[in-house]
Structure formats: structure tokens, C-alpha cells
Chain A
Amino acid sequence: MATDDLTLVKRVRSGDQRAFRLLVERYQRKVYSVALGMVRDREEANDIAQEAFVKVYKYLDHFKGDSSFYTWLYRITVNICIDVLRKRRGMKGVAVEYDETNQVGTSEANLGALGTRLGTNPQKSALRKELAEKIQEALEQVPEKHRAILLLREVEGMSYEELARTLEIPKGTVMSRLFHARIKVQKILSEYLELDESKSGVGSE
């Protein structure tokens, strides 16, 4: 049976580096996935994931244990990603506006475009490589806070409670932010499907 995170954290604190390696191996893939979804650059995502683990090790004494280890790890990862994106924006001089109160025009989304074209078998549909790439492109077009919450929910499967703790926002905000993020991505994806279907029929099963 695998040793739980908190036991490994205790061992790391007592100087057992092997325990930390186990934690790295346990979460490396997921941390990388979140970073990749956030920055959409493989090399940068790899650097961010490494940096996240190094920070976790460095500040392990700050981890109180009142939340789960992975919640804390993902919070650090998302914060590093946001810093990297800010630096990148600073270099490019482009500002991405983000307003939580903005109303999303749900009626603008092509209703049923995803559900009817992709059916209930995402595995089958997502095997199309170009569609997986389109997902990353769609993520890139939404504000980073929306991106983070979507990735943590969909890739990590976090509950709303865990999302609230990781992102340090109220649970009500989790609900609305996730809803807005989904509507935005859905709109981008359905437009892509509609466009692509008219060209080559990629969206059809």
C-alpha cells in the first residue's frame, strides 16, 4: 500500500530525501499537466513543474498540514505559472483583462455543438490530435484564472472545496468562475467544430 502524503512529508522533514522523491514521482505528471495547460509550452511547463517541487521542498516547514499536500503543491504551481505569464506579458506588452463580474453571453455559444458532435465518448473524439491541440489553444484564449480553475477541476478532479482552498477564493466564486470559464471554452471549441465541420467534417463521429 502506498504511503500517504502526510507521512512522506513528515519523513522529508526528518531528513529523508527518498520520501521527497516519492512525492515528486507521485505528482510530477499532474503538476506538469497543469503547468502545460497554463503556459502551453512544454519546456517552460517542465521548468515550472521542477521549480514547484523545489519550492515545496524549500518551504516544507511552512506547510501546516491543515489542507492536503497536493492542494498546497498545486497552489504553488499555479502561482508560479501566473508569475511566468505576467513576465511573458510584460515582455510582450500585452495586458489580458480579467473581470469576474463580466456577464458571459451564454446565448452566443453554439448550443449543442459539442454534445451532439462529440457524443459522450470524449476518449474517442479526443484521439484526434488536432482537437487536443485546439483544446490547448482554447485554454490559451481564456484568462489565466479561468484556465487555472478549469485545469484543476478537469485534470486534477478537485472538488469545489479543494478548488476554494487551492485558489484561496470563496466557494461561491469557484462556482461562478468555473461556469464562466466553461462557457468561454465551449464557445471557442464549438466555433472550431462548426468551422472545421464545414471544411472537412472533423467533428462528426
Chain B
Amino acid sequence: MTSSPACNTYMPLLSPYIDGELVPGERISVERHLAACKDCTMRVADLRAESGLLRVGMELAADQADFKDFAQKVMARITPDRPPLFERWKLALSETFLYQRGTVVTAFAGAAVMLLVALPLILRERPPVGYAGERMLVQSVTVDDEAHVAPVVLETSAGNAIVWGVHHLDEAKPAVAPEDEATDEELEQEAAPASPDDTKLKQDKPKGGEL
């Protein structure tokens, strides 16, 4: 195929034309020529097709490559001998804050929220001291032989019972108050119906033990 002198002039401009690298004056001139020249219009179509074909063809070729270990291999080739431990820690710490700042902030925020939620729960769950405690150990039980004692039984929803020995102020039969009323209050038994009979109390003097 032969080309006209005008085509020979414009042909070298067609390549920069499809690349958008012509100055506006040249571009307008080329476009005027293209409007009048079917051959150069086909040349432009060829150049564009070739350009796209090369691009896609090379992308297809690169798609077949596996880059999974590529960066690791490069890093292995450039990594110097291991620096001292302190330097490694320092670098690891600075890199963590540099590249995983978001993760670090999120982790700290999460930990703070968890602490705020968990702390009151932990404090609330702590078993209270005294009668409300789940378990308590009775060290000793002392009953004054002369005391006139009446039991008060408090049953709990858990099936336990708290038994108080109450000094009954009976005018007809004045009793001798126990030396230490608080000692009576230590008398706590698990689901054990206490006998109101103080004679029994006298006979079966309770021993200390775990409730």
C-alpha cells in the first residue's frame, strides 16, 4: 500500500496522537487530516488495537505468575545480620505503632471498655462478709447453761437456715443472759431445723464445723 505525501507527514504524529502527547495545535491538525484520510484513520485504529492488545496480553502473562513468596525472597536477600535484642524490640514497637496504629488503638479501647464493664461485676460478685457469705466456719459454740434461750430460724431461698439463739427475758423465770450474745449469733446451720428445746441444746452441745 502506498501512502500520500500528506500521510507521510502525519504518520509519525499518529503514535503520540493516540497517547495524548501532542500539543493542542498538532492535535487539531492531525484530526483535520484524519477526517479527510481513510488510510490514516485505519492506521490510528491499528495503533489503538495494538496498544490495548499489548497491555492486556502482558497482564494476562503476569496473571500466571505467583507472587506469594516474592517479597519474602527479596527481603531475605536484603536482611542484614540480626541487630541486638533491644534494637529489635525498639524497631518492632515503632513499626507496630506506625503500621498498625488503628489495631493498637482499637485493642486499647476494647480493653478499657471490658475493664469498665467487668470491674463492677467482679466487685459485686465478691461474697459478703458475715451471715450472707456462702460458707463460713464456726469456730466454737458456747451455750450458757443458765440461759433461757429460744431459737429464731431464718430460712433462706437457697434452702439454708440461720438460727439465732435469743435470750428470752422471762420475768417468771429470769434467765441468766449469756456472757456473749454475739457467740450465739455465730450458731448457723445449713438447712437444719433447730430444736426449740433448750434441754436438747444442753444435751447435744454443738461442735464447731463448716456450714
**Cβ-closest chain A residue relative to B7:** A106
B-facing mask of A77-109, CB < 8 A → 1, else 0? 000000000000000000000000000001101
Tell me whether B49 and A119 are in contact (CB under 8 A): yes
Bound form: Cα–Cα A53–B119 in Å: 52
CB of B25 within 8 Å of the partner chain: no
Contact A112:B46 (CB < 8 A) given known A54-B78, A131-B53, A153-B19? yes
Tell me whether B45 and A115 are in contact (CB under 8 A): yes
Tell me whether B54 and A24 are in contact (CB under 8 A): no
- Most chain-A Cβ atoms within 10 A of its Cβ — which of B11, B39, B70? B70
We find that the number of chain A residues with CB closer than 8 angstroms to chain B is 65
Bound form: Cα–Cα A178–B15 in Å: 7
Main SS class of interface, A? helix
Tell me whether B65 and A46 are in contact (CB under 8 A): yes
Residues of A within 8 A of B55 (CB): 122, 154-155
CB of A9 within 8 Å of the partner chain: no
CB of A148 within 8 Å of the partner chain: no
Q: What's the minimum C-beta distance from B70 to chain A, rounded to whole angstroms?
A: 5
Main SS class of interface, B? helix
Q: What's the minimum C-beta distance from B119 to chain A, rounded to whole angstroms?
A: 37
Tell me whether A123 and B78 are in contact (CB under 8 A): no
**Cβ-closest chain A residue relative to B67:** A28
Contact A135:B21 (CB < 8 A) given known A32-B67, A175-B15, A182-B47? no
Tell me whether A135 and B57 are in contact (CB under 8 A): yes
The residue that B48 contacts in the complex, of A29, A120, A127, A159, with Cβ under 8 A, is: A120
Tell me whether B53 and A17 are in contact (CB under 8 A): no
Tell me whether A106 and B11 are in contact (CB under 8 A): yes
Tell me whether B67 and A135 are in contact (CB under 8 A): no
B-facing mask of A26-52, CB < 8 A → 1, else 0? 001100110011000010011001100
Tell me whether A15 and B46 are in contact (CB under 8 A): no
Q: What's the minimum C-beta distance from A59 to chain B, rounded to whole angstroms?
A: 12
Please list the residues of chain A having a beta carbon within 8 angstroms of any beta carbon in chain B: 11, 15-18, 20-21, 24-25, 28-29, 32-33, 36-37, 42, 45-46, 49-50, 53-54, 57-58, 106-107, 109, 111-123, 125-127, 129, 131-132, 135-136, 139, 150-151, 153-155, 159-160, 175-176, 178-179, 182, 185-186, 189-190
Excluding A54-B78, A154-B51, 4 further A-B contacts by CB distance (< 8 Å) are: A16-B94, A115-B46, A132-B60, A132-B61
